[in-house]
Amino acid sequence: MRNSSADQLILETLGVQKSHLTSHQIYEGVHLRLPALNPSTVYRALDRLVSQGKVTVSDMGLGAAVFELAGEKPHHHLVCQGCGYITMIADDQIAPLMETLEKNYHYKIKTNHLVLFGLCEQCQQNH
């Protein structure tokens, strides 16, 4: 199988789901369309797509890294440690913080993704 075929199937799977998927979930989605595909081929393709900037990988505290299509603008997440609900935050809310940190600490931040953990309003009430 050509790398581009596996890459394209992965991108299509992530595009259809429009959510954060583990590598295993991506493999299952791709495997439905191409049963002969080897899991290691999918994992190598994911690494390649991340290094090309087409896919992002994050640790959302779910026990496995999750992947999603890289958008035109980065976005960030609040992850509830009670129920697991994930809230997306627009980059324009975080960008000023990143700029201030770079300026104050003379640092060039390379990450394009911030994940903050806490409790959502509902879980705060139940806690």
Same fold, 3-69 and 75-126: no
pLDDT in tens, 110-127: 777 788 999 999 999 987
Angstrom distance (rounded) from CA 66 to CA 58? 5
Q: What is the pLDDT of residue 100?
A: 96
Return the CATH number of the domain spanning residue range 75-126: 3.30.1490.190
What are the domain boundaries of the chain? 3-69, 75-126
Return the CATH number of the domain spanning residue range 3-69: 1.10.10.10
Q: What is the pLDDT of residue 1?
A: 46
pLDDT values of the chain reduced to their tens digit, one per residue, 127 residues: 455 688 999 999 998 876 789 999 999 999 998 888 889 999 999 999 999 989 988 888 778 888 988 876 778 899 999 988 889 899 999 999 999 999 999 999 877 778 899 999 999 998 7
Packed helices 23-33 and 3-17: angle between N→C axes, nearest 10 degrees: 110
Question: Which is it for the CA torsion 11, 17, 22, 27, positive or negative?
Answer: negative
